Amino acid sequence: MLVELAAAILVIGSGMDTVSSLEGLATAVSPEARLLGGLSVAAGCGLIALGILIRGRRAWLLTLNVVAIAAFLELRSVTFGGILAAVLDMLVVGILLRERWWFRWVPPADAAPGRDNA
């Protein structure tokens, strides 16, 4: 299903970004660079959490908005890596918009778990 793809893109991509940011944070010498590195690590961890939440049918609207903002900010970097990350984020936004119904579905009340209702 496409929702799993969107969750995987968020978790794997953000995980790689977080590791890269941790490396930059470890080598930062100025306080400003340390602050920026810390914010980047926090943003990466937040996107990983959102990827896990959408896989569990939670936080659809929050994830949609955060990823759309992240895509806009990544496009502003005007680098190949930033544009690639923005394209992947826009793919996630498109998937989330297309699969809205998946987040609204609930199992029927009369269906007991583990019982065949056929």
Query: Over its length of 118 residues, how does the chain's per-residue pLDDT go in tens digits?
Result: 888 999 999 999 999 989 988 998 898 889 898 998 899 899 999 999 999 999 888 888 899 999 999 999 889 988 898 899 899 999 999 999 888 877 777 777 776 666 555 5
pLDDT value for 109 = 75
Distance CA(91)–CA(29), nearest Å, equals 36
Cβ neighbour number for residue 51 with a 10 Å cutoff? 23
Tokens in use for 57? 């049918």
pLDDT value for 54 = 92
pLDDT value for 50 = 94
Distance CA(114)–CA(93), nearest Å, equals 34
pLDDT value for 11 = 94
pLDDT value for 108 = 74
Distance CA(69)–CA(74), nearest Å, equals 9
pLDDT value for 88 = 93
